Chains A and B, each alone.
Chain A
Amino acid sequence: MKKIIIFFVFCTVFCATIKAQGGFSWENLQVKARLGYSIGGTAPIGFPATIRSVDAFRLTPSVMAGADVALPLNEKWGVSAGLRFENKAMEIEATTKAYRMEVTKGDQKIEGLFTGHIQQDVTEWMLTLPIMATYAVGRNVTLKAGPYASLLLSKDFSGIASDGYLRQGDPTGPRIIMGSKEGEWATYDFSDEMRPLQFGIAAGVDWQVHQHIGLSADLNWGLTGIFNRDFKTVEQTLYPIYGTIGIFYQF
């Protein structure tokens, strides 16, 4: 969190400096409408050894629509702010060995170490506000970087633990075998434990290919984990890290 505040302060100072240098005019305001598709994951930075293999990774409806306003401050530098409606989703299947997990429902729970197959679905529909510094490289290419804040509108973090077994409590606890169909496997849902606000940094490039049309590529790197801080069941902090390929229309 502290890092993010520092980043915002840095941006403000940076903008003020540029502004002081002159060459700024409100008339140069540029508006870009954007559409994009994101691919990435909500994952720990470095897999824990309890993940033994990733067996499937499916594309999800991770679409992005939005617009931003860019204000050139001088010939090279500028600032932009935007609003995006986007989904950062993930569907992944993995094989685990002694992966700590918990199945909760109401006030009941079973927790322990799971060895077997996990199918994990993550959906995070959100409104994202990116604030970026822009730097023009030549006439058609603009580099951009800056922080973003996201407000989650709908969130889902759920999955299935199957084809394996849970050792309740610790590796010497009762072994509960999980099968390969409904009723034999365990489902879990940590959606309510997800934090409603996410922060991160984004960097990307806009490439103007036509008078109005351009292509973009962005990397959005979450700096906050997706869960509330007091939620300990998922041992590793999971960060949303997504790349977005998009097109834009410049008015």
Chain B
Amino acid sequence: MAALALLTSCIKDEEANQECDIVSAWVEGKEYENYFYDVTQMKHENIASTVTEIVFTVKSMISLPEKLPIQLAVTPGATVVPASGSEQHFKDGPVTYTVTSQDGSWQRQYTVVFREAVKPTYRYGFEEVETIEGMNNNLYHNFYIFDQAGNRQNVWATGNPGAILIKQNSMPEDQPTYSTEQGYVGRGVCMNTQDAGMLGRLFGKPIAAGNLFIGQFILDNVLLDALKATQFGLPIDRVPIRVTGYYKYRPGDTFTNKDMEPVPGRVDEASIYAVFYRNKDNDGNPIFLYGDNVLSSEYIVRKAEVASLPPTDEWTPFEMFFEGGDADPIVLASQGYNMTLVFSSSKDGASFEGAIGSTLYVDEVVVSFEEITQ
């Protein structure tokens, strides 16, 4: 005890914060509510550490006022330019905010952008891909789309940002999910289950399955609870009924459990599914589905799963139909439903069960929707 007291007396004064994050961003005031489909879309909370673009979805860019104030909460002590609450011309395009840490030595830049809701793309050809340079000289592919209005939309997410955490000097093709030139038409997606190495084992996460999904990968959660790193779904204004596409699949040789012990007789399987769900609870709080409830949540309205994906080295068509209830047209019109589409090279990869080397290729995915009744 005396030793503890002695040690405590050695503690130096706290130094100024070095971090410079935007923690939350919101539009404040009843007068602005009309521009949004719903009040939940006026606020972004707990913004993930890797986010640099904050998107507010509005009904119409044309009717948006010339200037709007955005409120920002940043790391304690940090400053932001332009200031939180200052009116900016979002109608003219993205506005860049620079956050400077309390100690003055670090900066991060964010863009805040107002956009009309994603007009869903019916066809995903996976032709739009960019190479991102992560930490430690690791490169990885990121898939995006152009919507019907011609706007770039970052609808696709992968676990790549998590996989590169423990790597150094790696190429896009070294990652669990990457773009391949050998698609069914043009480029396609390759997903493969990888050995996460000694460090992955140390963290109880021995394998990394390749995945691609509509939603957001929240790297912040990857160690705490990997199932919470995959946030599934984005708002959609119509009701999906069917998904088709092409795949190739080859399971890896040895199926292992989460302790990396072989499970004799078990063969790895790929998974392809889609979920359409309510994105608000009855009190109006936002709902997201994660790895632990994406197929079981009470907010699911309808879902589609491909029953089986037999191994094949030839491009083979797959098809799945949404089953479940109907959507409420009023809720639908207010962006009250989300849809996700999920592909994984190991069905139980989220719980770190699968076979290293399992490889799933996917291309030319088409989603069919119900007719929109006005």
Contacts and interface: CB of A to CB of B under 8 A. Distances in A.
A171 B14 contact: no
Interface stretch (A2-10, A23-31, A41-49, A138-146): A41-49
Nearest to A184: B224
Given A52-B11, A170-B106, A57 B4 contact: yes
Given A51-B11, A97-B15, A105-B202, A172 B4 contact: no
| Residue among B15, B167, B223 with max Cβ neighbours from chain A (10 Å) | B223
B101 A106 contact: no
Interface residues of A, number: 44
A182 B198 CA distance: 16
A185 B204 CA distance: 10
Interface in A72-103: 92, 97-98, 103
Contacts of A53: 8, 11
Contacts of A137: none
A182 to B, nearest CB: 7
Contacts of B21: 175
Contacts of B201: 105
Contacts of B203: 183, 186
Contact of A54 (B8, B199, B220): B8
Contacts of A41: 3, 7
A171 B15 contact: no
Interface in A143-192: 165, 167-179, 182-187
B10 interface: yes
| Residue among A50, A170, A174 with max Cβ neighbours from chain B (10 Å) | A174
| Residue among A48, A51, A165, A176 with max Cβ neighbours from chain B (10 Å) | A176
B27 interface: no
Interface string B90-129: 0000000000010000111000000000000000000000
Contacts of B49: 167, 173-175
B135 interface: yes
Contacts of B3: 39, 41, 57
Contacts of B165: 110, 168, 174, 176
B223 A176 contact: yes
Contacts of B106: 170-172
A2 to B, nearest CB: 28
Interface in B3-62: 3-4, 7-8, 10-15, 18-21, 49-50
Contact of B220 (A39, A108, A175, A185): A175
Interface residues of B, number: 42
Contacts of A108: 166-168, 197-200
A186 B224 CA distance: 10
Interface string B197-234: 11111111000000000000001111111000000000
Contacts of A47: 7, 10-12
A110 B19 contact: no
A92 B168 CA distance: 32
A212 interface: no
Given A52-B14, A97-B15, A103 B199 contact: yes
Interface in A179-213: 179, 182-187
Contacts of A186: 202-203, 223
Contacts of B166: 108-110
A104 B166 CA distance: 9
A12 to B, nearest CB: 36
Contacts of B18: 98, 113, 170-171
Contacts of A49: 12-15
A107 to B, nearest CB: 8
The 9 A-B pairs of least Cβ separation, nearest first, read A175-B49, A171-B18, A105-B198, A106-B198, A108-B199, A183-B204, A49-B12, A54-B7, A105-B199
Interface of A: 39, 41, 46-54, 56-57, 92, 97-98, 103-106, 108-110, 113, 165, 167-179, 182-187
Interface of B: 3-4, 7-8, 10-15, 18-21, 49-50, 101, 106-108, 135-136, 161, 165-168, 197-204, 219-225
